[in-house]
Amino acid sequence: MSRHEYDIVVAGAGTAGCYAAATAAGEGMDVCVVERKDEQEAGHIACGDALKGADSFPEAIPKSQLEPSITNTGVDHGRFEIPQENTVLEIPVPGELAVIDRWEFGRRLIEGAREAGATFHFDTVISSVTQTDDGRVTGLKATQNNRSVTYDADLVMDAAGALSILQEDVDFADTTFDTNVRYSQFCSAYREVIEVEEPVSWDDALVFKPTQRSAGYLWYFPRTSTRINVGLGFQMNEEPMQLVDVLANDLDTRSEFNNAEVKDKLGGSLPTRRPYDSAVAPGFVAVGDAAGHVNPTTGGGIAGAAYAATFAAEAAVDALSNGGPGEQSLWQYNERVMNKFGAKYAALDVYNILSTAVDVDDLMGLLAAIPGEKLAEALYEGSTSVGLRLTIKSAIKSFGHWSTVKSLYDTKKLADELLSHYETYPDTPAEMHDWSRRRDSILNRVYESTGADPKYWPDSLISFHR
């Protein structure tokens, strides 16, 4: 058995893991990234390949390092195909938008973190988290090339992705770390990268199309005019969907995919939930998908992972330099996440809850009646600014969907109320219980208003992580 000692050990070499490692190593920390895949496969992640806001990403990994993986910068809008209404809805996407080669992007993230000074251990499968009797996380145990290996660290950073197994192994008693997590708050997804014979006519758009079930959609994202990332997902609170068959059936209806060649295929899961209330515990921080840092309405998580990892690493460096990584000393990370994007994502989660309770035909009819710029605000800016006058106009246009219009308007008001509450995110762990209780009272009204099943357990029912 071998043993290693580091200041920080990062689990996972995805976006969050690489930005965290690059940031901490750049500040002089001795950092090791532990990755279960081999060096060639590392960075190969199931993803829609759409990248928003890369012009303002954290600088720990320079944009120039990533630019060769950006394959289509001509995308400037979303194209919503709504067969139920025989409508195609074009909506603008604010800010810089691009489509990337995700595997190449992943390799370049690893290269950037290495250049910043981080060490990488590939082919390493984590088996458990080590922890002291008083609850402080002290490292990891793993298997590498059929040999046991132990990593001792002042801080463990969980960047191991959705439904991370590390959190199953940590005792979070007496901390505020969010354990209100279950599989139904996540999405199962599958995607293929397909080469077509002729350039598609929509290579300047991200194409979305609803599945025949609520809270699910297909996507067609053009890496280039002839290489398309195609995929679909569904929320795990729904009945299971045969993802491969559903995608194949839709591809068969689209003439542009005749005689197309599949270049890559991969599945995975991602959060479609609010960010973790708290993602810190003594000696432990969760980032990216492992902390719910994904826009719950679009599945976009690269930007959230990059920023959250940077904030987490900066908080870790500060804590390790000033007395140790206790919950309070790491708390600034939670606050920065909520200020940057967490509050917006929590408000957007309310619309995700609504979508699980609305008939898909009613929802598509309503979306077809709402101006594209208002949908863009709802998807990318947080709580939508859809007001009463616009809602009434939408109701007139979407005759037959009156109850859905009313639900949208009521949901909008509750989302705004929730967003305001998140602006009062607590300054200390001691204040978390009262803040969460008030937040949960707003969510209870969301469930009552929408008719949706509760998405999160009340605190009194939380006895295990998943």
- 36 and 157 assigned to the same domain: yes
**Cα–Cα nearest to 234, from 275, 274, 183, 168:** 183
Q: Which of the pair, 351 or 143, is modelled with greater confidence?
A: 143
Which two three-digit tokens encode residue 310? 């940077």
Mean pLDDT within 237-246 = 81
Strand-pairing partners, residue 262, are 194
| 364 plus 408 within the same structural domain | yes
Question: Do 293 and 381 have their domain in common?
Answer: no
Q: What is the mean pLDDT of residues 63-92?
A: 87
Q: Which amino acid is located at 138 in the chain?
A: T
DSSP 8-state class, residue 274? P
419 vs 190: CA distance, rounded Å: 32
Residue 336 resides in a domain: yes
pLDDT band at 352 (very low <50, low <70, confident <90, very high): confident
pLDDT at res. 239:
72
8 A C-beta contact, residue 148 and residue 1: yes
Closest CA to 272 of 207, 346, 362: 346
Distinct helix (H) and strand (E) counts, the chain: 13, 18
Q: How confident is the model at residue 463 (pLDDT cuts 50, 70, 90)?
A: very low
The CATH number of whichever domain residue 234 belongs to comes to 3.30.9.10
pLDDT confidence tier of residue 69, bands split at 50, 70 and 90: very high
> Within this chain, do residues 306 and 370 fall inside the same structural domain, yes or no?
no
Cβ contact 75:204 at 8 Å: yes
> pLDDT tens across 288-323, in order?
999 999 999 888 899 999 999 999 999 999 999 998
pLDDT at 398 over 80: no
Look at residue 403 and tell me whether its pLDDT is greater than 80: no
Do 26 and 50 form a contact (C-beta atoms < 8 A)? no
Residue 466 lies in a domain: no
Supply the range of the domain harboring residue 154: 2-73+100-178+273-341
Q: What is the model's pLDDT at position 154?
A: 98
How would residue 235 be classed by pLDDT, with cut points 50, 70 and 90?
Answer: confident
pLDDT band for 464, please (50, 70, 90 cuts).
Answer: very low
One domain, residues 209 and 308: no
What band does 383 get if pLDDT is binned at 50, 70 and 90? very low
Query: What is the reported pTM?
Result: 0.91
* Pick from 52-56, 263-267, 408-412: least confident: 52-56
Could you tell me if 182 and 202 are in contact, meaning their C-beta atoms sit under 8 angstroms apart? no
Backbone torsions φ then ψ of 457, nearest 5 degrees: -75, 145
Q: Which amino acid is at 363?
A: L
Domain tally, the chain? 3
Same domain, 57 and 200: no
Residue 395, pLDDT > 50, answer no
Among 51-55, 153-157, 195-199, the range scoring the smallest mean pLDDT is 51-55
Under a CB-based contact definition with an 8 Å cutoff, are residues 107 and 66 in contact? no
SS3 457: coil
442: nearest Cα among 408, 466, 411, 463: 411
Q: Cα(392)–Cα(406) distance, rounded to whole angstroms?
A: 9
What Rg value do the Cα atoms of the chain yield, rounded?
22
b/e map 277-314, b = 16+ CB within 10 Å: bbbbbbbbbbbbbbbbbbbbbbbbbbbbbbbbbbbbbb
pLDDT tops 80 at residue 55: no
Res. 364: pLDDT tops 60: no
Do 67 and 104 have their domain in common?
Answer: yes
**Co-location of 330 and 453 in the same domain:** no
Domain match, 447 and 352 both: yes
User: Which of 244, 271, 298 lies at the terminal end of a domain, its last residue?
Assistant: 271
41 and 166 share one domain = yes
Percent over 90 (pLDDT), the chain:
68
Of 122-131, 163-172, 174-183, 362-371, the one with minimum mean pLDDT is 362-371
Q: pLDDT: is 364 or 137 the higher one?
A: 137
CATH of the domain at 109: 3.50.50.60
pLDDT digit string, tens, across residues 2-47 = 999 999 999 999 999 999 999 999 999 999 999 999 999 999 998 8
If you average pLDDT over residues 96-114, what whole number do you get?
95
Residue 376 has pLDDT above 60, yes or no: no
Out of 341, 364, 392, pick the residue that ends a domain.
341
User: Taking 80 as the threshold, does the pLDDT of residue 363 lie above it?
Assistant: no
Mean per-residue pLDDT, 364-387: 52
H/E stretch holding 16:
helix 15-26
Contact present, 286 and 161 (Cβ < 8 Å): no
pLDDT at 176 over 90: yes
Residues 281 and 167 in one domain: yes
Q: What pLDDT is attached to residue 206?
A: 92
Q: Compute φ and ψ for 150, nearest 5 degrees.
A: -120, 140
Same structural domain, 189 and 160? no
Sign of the dihedral through C-alpha 176, 180, 183, 186: negative
318 located within any domain = yes
